[in-house]
């Protein structure tokens, strides 16, 4: 299948344990895109290149195609820049974003399930931090990608974390599993509502764009004058949707 895509110099920078990297690499495998892959934990020059396009952070996946670099792109963006015919080997539109949202929500889901199980098995104990963790873990995960701050990913994370925490609280209330003492409010249920609201405010703050920038979606556009160890400079980086002008 690799013959369907013109061979270009494509390098994917990734690291172990990165769910977004796994999603992108799997979809590029499906598309048959030949590429070089660099584990930034084993390649200092690769890590330096990634930091140079991601505000000093080691944000992965980062993909370099010729003289263009993409931070946290979708497979469709990579294939489009690589010159692949539309639709080759890629999932339907929106699938990659949905998979990313599922990966983002992992810690909030884990916190919510843990809170649910503990409260159901120990209804007279109040898990004071569980609502906060459930509400804020999703936004915190998204906020680790600077380009996602101020984006629909960030809004989805804040809303999803609050709804998930509220859902768990509702189930526990119906099950009569909120009989523990309250530190704030008159009951454990009211305390949990207050804590969820606080978590939502914290989540909204952490996904807010920094420095006045407001990227539109997950991937980002930046321009490099030179990249140490890259063998050349990267210019006119690509993005799936218009992004703020960061070339000045």
Select from 65, 94, 123 the last residue of a domain. 94
77 within some domain: yes
Same domain, 117 and 88: no
> 3-state DSSP: the chain helix, strand, coil percent, rounded to 5?
50, 10, 45
222 within some domain: no
195 within some domain: yes
Distance in angstroms (rounded) separating the CA atoms of residues 215 and 145: 11
Euclidean distance between the first and final Cα of the chain, in Å? 41
Distance in angstroms (rounded) separating the CA atoms of residues 97 and 61: 14
Closest CA to 69 of 229, 232, 222, 244: 222
Lowest mean pLDDT among 17-26, 56-65, 83-92, 220-229: 220-229
Q: Mean per-residue pLDDT for 58-68?
A: 87
Average pLDDT, the chain: 77
pTM: 0.55
160: domain range?
A: 105-206
64 within some domain: yes
Same domain, 110 and 190: yes
- Predicted confidence band of residue 195 (pLDDT cuts 50, 70, 90): very high
Same domain, 77 and 122: no
Please indicate whether residue 47 or residue 104 has the higher confidence score (pLDDT): 47
Lowest mean pLDDT among 1-5, 6-10, 164-168, 184-188: 1-5
Select from 34, 60, 94 the last residue of a domain. 94
Pure H helices in 85-151: 95-104, 106-121, 130-143
Evaluate if residue 156 carries a pLDDT over 60: yes
Same domain, 53 and 129: no
Q: How far is CA 57 from CA 37, 54, 143, in A?
A: 19, 5, 12
116 within some domain: yes
237 within some domain: no
- Predicted confidence band of residue 217 (pLDDT cuts 50, 70, 90): very low
Same domain, 114 and 160: yes
Same domain, 189 and 122: yes
Please indicate whether residue 48 or residue 231 has the higher confidence score (pLDDT): 48
Evaluate if residue 1 carries a pLDDT over 50: no
Select from 61, 94, 127 the last residue of a domain. 94
- Predicted confidence band of residue 176 (pLDDT cuts 50, 70, 90): very high
Same domain, 109 and 182: yes
Please indicate whether residue 86 or residue 30 has the higher confidence score (pLDDT): 30
Share of the chain above pLDDT 70, in %: 71
* pLDDT value of residue 99: 67
CATH code for the domain in which residue 35 is found: 3.40.30.10
212 within some domain: no
Evaluate if residue 42 carries a pLDDT over 70: yes
* pLDDT value of residue 94: 52
Find out whether 172 and 178 touch, Cβ atoms under 8 Å.
yes
What is the number of structural domains in the chain? 2
Of the segments 52-61, 72-81, 170-179, 209-218, which one has the largest average pLDDT value?
A: 170-179
């Amino acid at each position: 299948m690799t013959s369907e895509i013109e061979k270009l110099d494509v390098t994917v920078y990734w690291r172990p344990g990165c769910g977004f990297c796994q999603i992108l690499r799997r979809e590029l495998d499906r598309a048959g895109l030949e590429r070089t892959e660099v584990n930034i934990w084993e390649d200092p020059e690769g890590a330096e290149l990634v930091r140079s396009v991601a505000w000093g952070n080691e944000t992965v996946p980062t993909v370099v195609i010729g003289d263009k670099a993409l931070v946290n792109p979708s497979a469709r963006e990579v294939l489009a820049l690589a010159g692949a015919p539309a639709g080759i080997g890629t999932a339907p539109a929106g699938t990659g974003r949905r998979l990313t949202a599922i990966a983002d929500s992992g810690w909030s889901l884990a916190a919510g399930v843990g809170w649910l199980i503990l409260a159901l098995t120990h209804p007279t104990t109040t898990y004071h931090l569980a609502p906060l963790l459930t509400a804020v873990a999703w936004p915190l995960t998204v906020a680790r990608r600077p380009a996602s701050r101020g984006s629909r990913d960030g809004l989805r994370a804040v809303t999803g974390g609050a709804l998930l925490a509220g859902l768990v609280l509702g189930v526990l209330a119906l099950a009569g599993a909120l009989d523990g003492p309250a530190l704030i409010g008159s009951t454990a249920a009211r305390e949990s509502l207050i804590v969820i609201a606080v978590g939502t405010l914290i989540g909204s703050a952490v996904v807010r764009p920094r420095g006045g920038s407001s990227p539109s979606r997950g991937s980002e556009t930046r321009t490099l004058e030179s990249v140490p160890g890259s063998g050349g400079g990267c210019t006119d980086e690509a993005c799936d949707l218009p992004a703020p002008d960061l070339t000045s």
